[in-house]
Amino acid sequence: MSATSAATVTAQRRMGVLSRHEIQTLLLPMATLAVVLAPIFWINPNTMSYFGLGLLLNLAVPMILASMAQLCIIAVNDLDLSIGAFISLVSCIAVTWLPERPVLGVAALVACVLLYAAIGALVELFDLPSIVVTLGLSFVWGGFVWGGWALILLPMPGGATPQWIQDVMNLAIPVIPTPIVYAVLIALCAHWFLMRSSTGVRLRGAGGNPKAIVRSGGSVVRAKALMYGLAGVLGILSALTLVGITTSADANIAQRYTLISIAAVILGGGSFIGGKVSPIGATLGAITLGIAASFLSFLNIAPKWQIGLQGAILIIVLSMRILLSARGERQ
């Protein structure tokens, strides 16, 4: 690469412009989203309207935020099997303590984030398998370790979402449906922070090249603690946006978000090793998986088949990615 072209690439990265490799990574998630959208638009053309798209993407924002939380964990070569239970617990806090005892509610949310960060540090310090730790953590959020806090806070569906959260989620933006605007903002902010800022690059280094982090005087333990803490913050935002839409909660409201978040990151071009992630791709993946469930509703197919369809989409996309990678290597 010449000095001029290298300088151009560096300037593009500083400005946040997508590189050629990043664009190629996004082509498959974009094509998958188009394939899922096409039959929905064909079956019901009204979904292409402002109101139709808003309704179709109604639950996209909490799914995207949950996927971003999972992306932070996958970026450091770990996997979080507790994010769904965590979001469910935060949802219960949001509709009980936040409106009635806001100080206690905020303190509980801060404690949740700190616990998440501590888990990240412990995973690295003692070389613990993140799958086992986070699986156990899922029982902490909603199980016997915390005395079943989610069930104690909300033994049956109900509660009341604070009005300010509802106002944010019910905001009417002209021309472009609000979920699309929120999705774009989340994707761009996450992309800039994780893929362009120096802090994000160093944090991802804990997954991509931890030895280099140590040699440069950094701390992998600190990096993982920060990424786990960031995942906790994003999980809280996912829960708040979710209850802003549903206006209530229950102890199992987001259990399925665990598998959806993992699938969205991988569907969007992420990898379980090497710190390879794509915030924009994960956003497209979350939207695709959310719309896939709506597609079954359009066909009047039972919701129990939703996970099967989402799994089929993931398998097909991964197979295509492997084929394309093999073809690229041969060329």
The pLDDT of residue 141: 64
The pLDDT of residue 87: 94
The pLDDT of residue 17: 63
CA distance 258 to 74: 13
- Is-contact 309 71, C-beta < 8 A? no
Per-residue burial over 252-279, b if 16 or more Cβ lie within 10 Å, else e, is ebbebbbbbbbbbbbbbbbbeeebbbbb
- Is-contact 127 121, C-beta < 8 A? no
- Give the phi and the psi of residue 258 in degrees, each rounded to 5: -60, -55
DSSP 243-278: HHHHS-B-TTTTTTHHHHHHHHHHHTT--SSTT---
Cβ-based burial of 307 (10 A; exposed 0-12, middle 13-18, buried ≥19): middle
Please enumerate in sequence order all residues whose Cβ is within 8 A of that of 136, keeping only pairs 6 or more positions apart, or say none. Answer: none
The pLDDT of residue 162: 95
Taking 50 as the pLDDT cut, the residues of the chain under it are: 1-11, 14-15, 144-147
The pLDDT of residue 127: 92
CA distance 111 to 135: 19
Secondary structure of residue 303 in the 3-state scheme: helix
The pLDDT of residue 312: 82
CA distance 290 to 125: 36
Enter the tokens of residue 238: 């996912």
